[in-house]
């Protein structure tokens, strides 16, 4: 009888040796918690994202406290703009007393050590739900939008944002924002570029959460977000954003795009973040609520897989749960 020369199962036999050879270890340090902030008092549940709510600035401070206690390094803020504050030119985006700006100031005042990341894009503020300014044909104008994004990013930086995160996919916006930050004495403000952001159908629940779904209607974002079929183009996007001064790059969504994450990390070695988006969260939640999947095991497996693919950190709506599970297990 012939026996195997190598028995890989030997190291898998016991927990101690499995732990010793584990290559990827997920910790709270890897997590960024996205939070939806709205004007009304209290919390408001989001139907397509069970367990996630829109919160007031006051409630946001409770969220920040919970995240800090769990040693989550940073929050990413997403304001929900009241319909009457939306406009064609998205002027509310750079209102120094706007919701995003007030939310940033509130957190930085109470929890100065907690990283605050703001979303730079116009979709919460436009009546048409696009991430930029549109011409008469509804086409998103690149250079006019970049000027608006610069004003928005500067306003966030002045409010105290540690990281501005352009999620709009305009050409040249990273360089323009970097120049403006440098000239305005915000040399320490980091830029997390949504570099490889795909025109994905997995953003549906997010658009419900911020109320841009109804504004957008049947329109899509394919003239600026990337075609899910493309990989080489993602590398070109990342290369440009790094050359223009991005400190971190992002691939978004997560699980369906892990090949892109690996290629980006291998090609550039830059801090590479992944957004496990609303639709990915909703799929796991729905299956778990039906008793079809084990929520904790599947969530931790998905997050570990994203890290294994090359991500340095993950934006995830499951950040608080994951950090608690990791703490309980530790």
Pick out the residues of the known binding site for Mg(2+): 237
23: part of which helix (H) or strand (E)? none
Assess whether 307 carries a catalytic annotation.
no
CB of 329 to ligand PBG, least distance (A): 26
- In angstroms, the Cα distances linking 103 to 81, 90, 92, 108 are 13, 18, 14, 9
Residue 203 touches ligand PBG, criterion: CB under 6 A: yes
- Given 86, 108, 221, 252, which residue is catalytic? 252
User: What does the DSSP 8-state code read for residue 139?
Assistant: P
C-alpha radius of gyration, the chain, whole number: 20
Number of residues located near ligand PBG, criterion CB under 6 A: 11
- Dihedral angle at the C-alpha atoms of 59, 129, 192, 105, nearest 10 degrees? -30
Query: Can you tell me the distance from the alpha carbon of 119 to that of 164, in angstroms, rounded to the nearest whole number?
Result: 6
Query: Can you tell me the distance from the alpha carbon of 63 to that of 41, in angstroms, rounded to the nearest whole number?
Result: 14
Tokens, residue 66: 């919970």
Residue 237 touches ligand PBG, criterion: CB under 6 A: no
Tokens, residue 169: 């996919």
Which span sits near ligand PBG by CB under 6 A: 55-63, 84-92, 119-127, 294-302?
A: 119-127
CB of 269 to ligand PBG, least distance (A): 25
Out of 48, 81, 118, 167, the residue judged to bind ligand PBG by CB under 6 A: 167
Residue 155 touches ligand PBG, criterion: CB under 6 A: no
Out of 56, 155, 278, 299, the residue judged to bind ligand PBG by CB under 6 A: 278
Nearer to ligand PBG among residue 203 and residue 257 (C-beta): 203
Residue 123 touches ligand PBG, criterion: CB under 6 A: yes
Nearer to ligand PBG among residue 36 and residue 189 (C-beta): 36
Assess whether 327 carries a catalytic annotation.
no
Three-class SS state of 200: coil
Other CB atoms within 10 A of residue 10 CB: 9
Positions that interact with ligand PBG (CB under 6 A): 119, 121, 123, 131, 167, 203, 206-207, 221, 277-278
């Amino acid at each position: 009888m012939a026996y195997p020369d190598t028995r890989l199962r030997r190291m898998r036999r016991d927990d101690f040796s499995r732990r010793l050879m584990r290559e990827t270890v997920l910790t709270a340090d890897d997590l960024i918690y996205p939070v939806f902030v709205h004007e009304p008092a209290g919390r408001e549940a989001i139907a397509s994202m069970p367990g996630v709510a829109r919160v007031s600035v006051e409630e946001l401070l409770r969220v920040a406290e919970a995240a800090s206690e769990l040693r989550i390094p940073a929050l990413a803020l997403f304001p929900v703009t009241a319909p009457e504050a939306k406009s064609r030119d998205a002027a509310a985006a750079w209102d120094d007393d706007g919701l995003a700006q007030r939310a940033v100031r509130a957190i930085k005042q109470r929890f100065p050590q907690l990283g605050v990341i703001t979303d730079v894009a116009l979709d919460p503020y436009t009546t048409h739900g696009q991430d930029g300014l549109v011409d008469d044909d509804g086409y998103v104008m690149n250079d006019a939008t970049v000027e608006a994004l610069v004003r928005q990013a500067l306003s966030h930086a002045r409010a105290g944002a540690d990281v501005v995160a352009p999620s709009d996919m305009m050409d040249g916006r990273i360089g323009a924002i970097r120049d403006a930050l440098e000239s305005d004495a915000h040399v320490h403000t980091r830029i997390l570029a949504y570099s490889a952001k795909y025109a994905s159908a997995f953003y549906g629940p997010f658009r419900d959460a911020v109320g841009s779904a109804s504004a957008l209607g049947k329109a899509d974002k394919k003239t600026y977000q990337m075609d899910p079929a493309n990989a080489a183009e993602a590398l070109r996007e990342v290369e440009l954003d790094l050359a223009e001064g991005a400190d971190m790059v992002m691939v978004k969504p997560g699980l369906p795009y892990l090949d892109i994450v690996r290629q980006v990390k291998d090609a550039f070695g830059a801090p590479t973040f992944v957004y496990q988006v609303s639709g990915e969260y909703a799929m796991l939640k729905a299956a778990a609520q039906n008793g079809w999947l084990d929520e904790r095991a599947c969530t931790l497996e998905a997050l570990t897989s994203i890290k294994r693919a090359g991500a340095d950190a993950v934006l995830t709506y499951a950040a608080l749960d994951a950090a608690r599970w990791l703490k309980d297990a530790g």
